[in-house]
Structure 1
Amino acid sequence: MPTAEQISAAVAADGILDGFTLAVRISSRRRTLGVTVEPGGTTLTIAVPAALDTQHVIAGLHRIRPRIAGHVVKARENAPDFHVPALTDGAGFTWLGRSLRLRTLDGRAPAARDGERLTIGRDLLARDGAKPIIRWYCEQGTAWLEQEAPALWSRLMPPGTPPPELRVADIGRKRWGKYEPARHRVTLAWQTMQLRPSLARYVLGHELAHATRPAGAAHGPEFWRVTERVIPLAREEQRRLAREGRTVWMGDTRP
């Protein structure tokens, strides 16, 4: 069984993926070769089934190279271009597609929405940076999920079927939401709550569809059939999300 380092060296020697930064991950769970294109389209992660030898990895990459090229084009079109604010008066933020302007107050007042303003204490910002604002997105976002989810869930499951637990949290930057089967829990990334309502609702509906455990592949035909029952034109919304999501604030700040 080749190591990740041996596979990386073989791919580099073959030259099939010249020009990309490569990472190789060997998986005992995978049965087929997979390649993930990271945002920006310059880094590729190759997921290799543990039983696959180097020769078959190279052959598999040649076979799926046209598909990789298509994913690279999309990744470069949708490369992140997010806004990085300074935490000062007048800084711009977004809540469900609506603009908010930061207003700092004396002391350690927690983040709160006041009309078109997002208010917070200067001392709290000085101590904790963006964390209190992210916490506000999580708290307000969870309340929004609890309001929106019942109607969507009712389109998916018979009355009386327990819905998943709902929350908004910091789950990193690589996904807008996730479903955890072991906990029967749907979590949306706090960044999702900056999107306009139709896109945030799409992300919620997408994860609720996962919570119904549709047959087949994770994003196969049956999954999309279920998703489109709750979110009409779900695939179109997915494409909008790729375009519009690249500009949302990810939590970085500048002096």
Structure 2
Amino acid sequence: MEQHAIEIGGELIRFQLRRSQRKTMGISVSPDQAVVVSAPEKADFADIESRVRKKAGWILDKQAEFSTRSVQAAPRQFKPGETFLHLGQQYRLRVDPDRVGVVREGSRIIVGAIRSNESDRIRNRLVRWYMKEARQHLPAALERCLPVFRKEVERRPKLLIRPIKMRWGSYISATHTLILNRSLVQVSPPLIDYVVSHELAHVGHGDHGPAFTAYLTEKMPDWRTRKKALEKLGPELFDAPVLR
């Protein structure tokens, strides 16, 4: 197979070109992040390169997903001493039957009015606490990012915060709604802002093609660095989305 590489939006995509008797062109990404382009024997390389460029967003997304899935995090036990993230900072879990509610205090997240061996109840209380925190902090991220997109996003989208199984966020154009994963409250504000900006960029660009990439780069030049940091951190987060 032939080895090729194309630079697209500052990203270098390396791919293997496999020619055969097939009539159509196809692109696949394997779990080791290798890219294979299958093309007809007589296909012009310019057409092959054009197809790779059009699918660049999809290729990079699949490579990122496989990269994230390759990192296995230890399952949570929801026991005192475990660490949990909040806005990018680590806190150690403490359970105190004499306290009420869930609070951050110093370097700890304290779950009150419960025993340390009640892991299911500890988890449930943390879920409710993280949702409460997300509703406080994620709207602020939208307000931080909107001015950069003010010319293209003329009115503030409706914001919903949800547990999302396979995404950090989503933009629904039909209702002008931005949906953010509640798990984002665990990461640092710059990474939250990346997700918000990514979704706001979809207001004018429905896919992840070259136009979308150029537009997001204009609005947030370092988005790739933030994206990689989020992907690396993802498996360490409690209740984070499972990307496939």
* TM-score over 0.5 (shorter chain): yes
Aligned to 1:227: 216
Give yes or no for contact 1:134–1:190 (8 Å, CA) kept in 2. no
Aligned to 1:110: 101
Question: Which of 158, 172, 182 is equivalent to 1:180?
Answer: 172
Q: Provide TM-score, normalisation by structure 2.
A: 0.64
Gap change, CA 1:240 and 1:33, over 3 Å in 2: same
Give yes or no for contact 1:155–1:229 (8 Å, CA) kept in 2. no
What is the number of equivalent residue pairs in this alignment? Answer: 198
Question: Which of 76, 84, 91 is equivalent to 1:85?
Answer: 76
The 10-residue stretch of structure 1 (73-82 or 181-190) with the greater mean CA deviation from structure 2: 73-82
Question: Which of 127, 131, 145 is equivalent to 1:138?
Answer: 131
Give yes or no for contact 2:78–2:119 (8 Å, CA) kept in 1. no
CA distance in 1, matches of 2:152, 2:209: 26
Q: 1:123 offset after TM fit, Å? A: 3.3
Gap change, CA 1:151 and 1:76, over 3 Å in 2: closer
Give yes or no for contact 1:152–1:230 (8 Å, CA) kept in 2. no
Q: Provide TM-score, normalisation by structure 1.
A: 0.62
Q: 1:94 offset after TM fit, Å? A: 0.6
Q: 1:36 offset after TM fit, Å? A: 7.6
Q: 1:75 offset after TM fit, Å? A: 4.9
Gap change, CA 1:247 and 1:115, over 3 Å in 2: same
The 5 A counterparts of 1:210-225 are 210=202, 213-215=203-205, 217-225=206-214
Q: 1:88 offset after TM fit, Å? A: 2.0
Identity value in percent: 23
CA distance in 2, matches of 1:129, 1:182: 38
CA distance in 1, matches of 2:151, 2:62: 41
CA distance in 1, matches of 2:134, 2:194: 14
Give per-residue Cα distances to partners, 1:91-131, cap 9 Å, x unaligned. 21011210111111227833222232112135385563413
Q: 1:141 offset after TM fit, Å? A: 1.7
Unaligned runs of 5+ in 1: 1-31, 43-59
CA distance in 1, matches of 2:173, 2:153: 19
Q: Secondary structure at the match of 1:155?
A: helix
Unaligned runs of 5+ in 2: 1-24, 40-47
Structure whose residues are more often strand by fraction: 2
For 2:181, the aligned partner's letter is A
Q: Using CA pairs under 8 Å that are at least 6 residues apart, name the structure with larger relative contact order, 1 or 2.
A: 2
The 5 A counterparts of 1:28-47 are 41=31
For 2:130, the aligned partner's letter is Y
Gap change, CA 1:196 and 1:150, over 3 Å in 2: closer
The 10-residue stretch of structure 1 (241-250 or 121-130) with the greater mean CA deviation from structure 2: 121-130
Give per-residue Cα distances to partners, 1:128-169, cap 9 Å, x unaligned. 341321222222122212222223111102499321122432
Aligned to 1:156: 149
Q: What is the CA RMSD across the aligned residues, in angstroms?
A: 3.9
Aligned to 1:123: 114
Q: 1:69 offset after TM fit, Å? A: 9.8
